Structure 1
Amino acid sequence: MFVRKTALAATVLAAGMAGATVPAAAATDILIGGGAVTGVYYQVALQACAIINKQAADKLNCVGRPALGSVFNVNAVSRGLLDFGVAQSDANYNAWSGAADWDGKKVENLRSVFSVHPETVLLVTRKETGIKSVEDLKGKTVNIGNPGSGQRGNAMDVLDLYGINPDSDLNAQGLQQGEASRALVDSKIDAFFYTVGNPSAAIEDPANSTEIDLINVNSDAIKKFVGERPYYVMTSIPANTYRGVDHPTETYAVKATMITSSDVSEDTVYTFVKTFFENFDAFKASNAAFRDLEPKQMLEGLTAPLHPGAEKYYKEKGWM
């Protein structure tokens, strides 16, 4: 468990000294959980901490770490194992509503901080597999994501909506994304699902080593499913976003969201948010997935209540 720093006690270091200097209060430690090291969630945590540690080191000491994904991060934030985490908007909605992984167990202390980039539900394969549609996954070895990840939930939804049983219709794997990307190149799996902002190194890397393809996830059942849920939207990945994929790919998307707990102090969240947005250009420049972000739009798609510390800053800026 991450140990917080506390204010140092004033001490007298030696008898006979004319006086002793009282040390300043130590910075508050904060821990942010991201996702797989090859994914954009980890970059959100890493780059946010880089800004905090450069611009507010006297107040906050920030560590961004890899983590197992949305479900894990929501639960870890709720239990105080993480101060902040990055999670999909659908996971936040379900946690706050007491649905899906949290059926009947609403996460009462979950709070939103800001949304980040849109994330598309992608199905990636090697061209040589002959997979041209979701239906073609039957009989194949497919990574659906590690337990505790939002992508696994998305993969299960897609398979269900296409009438595919992951237990009997395919050889489902539960690899973390870094392993899945390597496994695709090594022909150990035929395809993988991944929910991620674009472009993603987890897809660029295999595209540079083998011929890949992106498969449409756009059936009538998918469109109906998306239309009934406020945290989803249909979208398209432009042609040539990834090497060798020369056609647009239709699918749906969620939004990555920075979350925290009501147990984290208002002052800590306010300082975090203020420092982040006052140095926002540095964040946008840190990853291609962030380049089109606009601060006011990052208050959209939040499915748990805003933390008071974040709300205070947004009201000061006139954003709400």
Structure 2
Amino acid sequence: MKITALHGRIASVLGVAVALGLTAGAASAQQRLAMGGTHGNSAFYAYQVAVVSDWNKAVPGVNISVQELGGASASTTALMRGEVDMGIAVTSSDFATMKGKDGAKLRTLYYFAPLPANWVVSADSGVNSLADLAGKQFNPGGRGSATEKQAEAILQLLGINAELHRAGGSDALDAYQNRRIVGFMKAGLHPDGYIQQAHASRPIKLLPMTEEQAKKIAAEYPYFSVAKSRPGENYGAQPAELVTVQTAIGINTTDALPEAVAYEIAKRIFSADGMAAAKAGYPAADRANPQELTLEASVAPLHPGVARFYKEKGIAVPDRLMAK
């Protein structure tokens, strides 16, 4: 009886050891990856957190974390240095990176939303057009973000000499609420949580571009297109429609990301369940079809894993988006 009991205890201990070994093996088999993120106040940061949480449950073999880096430009710089494995992307920052010495390594995972430029000023600022921003304290977008670079390029092209107030997203919002700046540029679909926060404490007014201004910008910078913004009633009384320009926002990576990982991410994010997870983090996510937008807006070639997804679905990928 004692020998039998001892054997039973040994078997039990061995069983636990084997189970622990298998668990440790499964954990070590997971690939730890980092995604560069925008600033924490942005609706797109909430989007990133939501989709990454979904991927960690649904995409086999990965454990991804989001690192707050400030915006697409800062994230893509970190990506090209090998500090993150993927990150928030905007067509303008991808365009600039493709022209750099390491640009051939850049790959697109997908794009999920168009980004109309929203020029926001306080309703009592006396500013009624972009030209009126001359000499005014104005935040061009979060420090290190693609929006910041876009706004600066647009104002320079149009010859508007605003006093640019450089600040991160939270600090810029604080500066607006405390009347240190007249407004800011924020890219995104409506309703936009950041603009809503600003409006709640200091009513805002959205500035339109002229058709001539928008066409001039799109002609100079091919990553922009002329667009119409429709704010609705999300920020009080605003025009039903405003002329502006837009880029697109998504997630980029490099050729170092394994094809199998990129393929599984594409399968998930383009699925109904993946889209539902995205909408939970960013309600406007269902206003664009990411599978179509990726083919329309991408600047860098698709990652081979993403191209494989399209091929299996029988969807043609333009030659310009095929990695050489």
| Same-fold call, TM cutoff 0.5 | yes
Counterpart CA distance in 1 for 2:237 and 2:80 is 40
SS at match of 1:298: helix
Counterpart CA distance in 2 for 1:262 and 1:241 is 43
Counterpart CA distance in 2 for 1:121 and 1:194 is 6
Counterpart CA distance in 1 for 2:163 and 2:222 is 32
State the match for 1:291 in structure 2. Answer: 286
| Cα deviation, residue 187, structure 1 | 0.7
Q: Are 1:254 and 2:247 matched, yes or no?
A: yes
Please tell me whether the aligned partners of residues 198 and 288 of structure 1 are also in contact (alpha carbons under 8 angstroms): no
Counterpart CA distance in 1 for 2:86 and 2:144 is 17
Gaps of 5+ in 1: 1-13, 99-104
Please tell me whether the aligned partners of residues 36 and 87 of structure 2 are also in contact (alpha carbons under 8 angstroms): yes
Kindly tell me: are residues 239 and 198 of structure 1, through their superposed partners in 2, closer, same or farther at Cα, counting changes over 3 Å? Answer: closer
| Cα deviation, residue 183, structure 1 | 1.8
State the match for 1:116 in structure 2. Answer: 112
Q: Are 1:280 and 2:261 matched, yes or no?
A: no
State the match for 1:60 in structure 2. Answer: 62
Query: 1:46-80 deviations in whole A, cap 9, x for unaligned?
Result: 12112112223x51112123222121111111122
SS at match of 2:253: strand
Identity of matched residues, %: 26
SS at match of 2:164: strand
| Cα deviation, residue 139, structure 1 | 2.2
| Cα deviation, residue 307, structure 1 | 0.8
Give 1 or 2 for the bigger CA radius of gyration: 2
User: Which of the pair is proportionally richer in helix?
Assistant: 2
TM-score computed with the length of structure 1 as normaliser: 0.84
| Cα deviation, residue 134, structure 1 | 1.0
| Cα deviation, residue 146, structure 1 | 4.2
Q: Are 1:25 and 2:14 matched, yes or no?
A: no
Structure 2 counterpart of 1:266, from 247, 255, 259 = 259
Kindly tell me: are residues 95 and 183 of structure 1, through their superposed partners in 2, closer, same or farther at Cα, counting changes over 3 Å? Answer: same
Please tell me whether the aligned partners of residues 283 and 290 of structure 1 are also in contact (alpha carbons under 8 angstroms): no
Counterpart CA distance in 1 for 2:207 and 2:74 is 28
Kindly tell me: are residues 65 and 200 of structure 1, through their superposed partners in 2, closer, same or farther at Cα, counting changes over 3 Å? Answer: farther
Kindly tell me: are residues 115 and 281 of structure 1, through their superposed partners in 2, closer, same or farther at Cα, counting changes over 3 Å? Answer: closer
Kindly tell me: are residues 189 and 228 of structure 1, through their superposed partners in 2, closer, same or farther at Cα, counting changes over 3 Å? Answer: closer
| Cα deviation, residue 121, structure 1 | 1.4
Query: 1:21-56 deviations in whole A, cap 9, x for unaligned?
Result: 242332111211221222233133112112112223
Counterpart CA distance in 2 for 1:164 and 1:117 is 28
Query: 1:208-236 deviations in whole A, cap 9, x for unaligned?
Result: 22211011123524312214544221122
Q: CA RMSD in A?
A: 2.3
Kindly tell me: are residues 172 and 295 of structure 1, through their superposed partners in 2, closer, same or farther at Cα, counting changes over 3 Å? Answer: closer
Deviation larger for 300-309 or 191-200: 191-200
Please tell me whether the aligned partners of residues 203 and 242 of structure 1 are also in contact (alpha carbons under 8 angstroms): no
Please tell me whether the aligned partners of residues 263 and 308 of structure 2 are also in contact (alpha carbons under 8 angstroms): yes
Counterpart CA distance in 2 for 1:221 and 1:285 is 33
Query: 1:252-290 deviations in whole A, cap 9, x for unaligned?
Result: 100002100111111222222223223223235322220
Please tell me whether the aligned partners of residues 115 and 258 of structure 1 are also in contact (alpha carbons under 8 angstroms): yes
Task: Give the aligned length.
Answer: 296
SS at match of 1:311: helix
Kindly tell me: are residues 18 and 61 of structure 1, through their superposed partners in 2, closer, same or farther at Cα, counting changes over 3 Å? Answer: closer
Q: Which amino acid letter does the alignment assign opposite residue 63 of structure 1? A: S
Please tell me whether the aligned partners of residues 30 and 63 of structure 1 are also in contact (alpha carbons under 8 angstroms): yes
Kindly tell me: are residues 205 and 215 of structure 1, through their superposed partners in 2, closer, same or farther at Cα, counting changes over 3 Å? Answer: same
Counterpart CA distance in 2 for 1:225 and 1:285 is 31
| Cα deviation, residue 174, structure 1 | 0.8
State the match for 2:192 in structure 1. Answer: 200
Q: Are 1:42 and 2:45 matched, yes or no?
A: yes
Please tell me whether the aligned partners of residues 270 and 313 of structure 1 are also in contact (alpha carbons under 8 angstroms): yes
Counterpart CA distance in 2 for 1:307 and 1:227 is 28
Please tell me whether the aligned partners of residues 270 and 310 of structure 1 are also in contact (alpha carbons under 8 angstroms): yes
Structure 1 counterpart of 2:236, from 232, 244, 248 = 244
Counterpart CA distance in 1 for 2:186 and 2:160 is 17
Please tell me whether the aligned partners of residues 296 and 319 of structure 1 are also in contact (alpha carbons under 8 angstroms): no
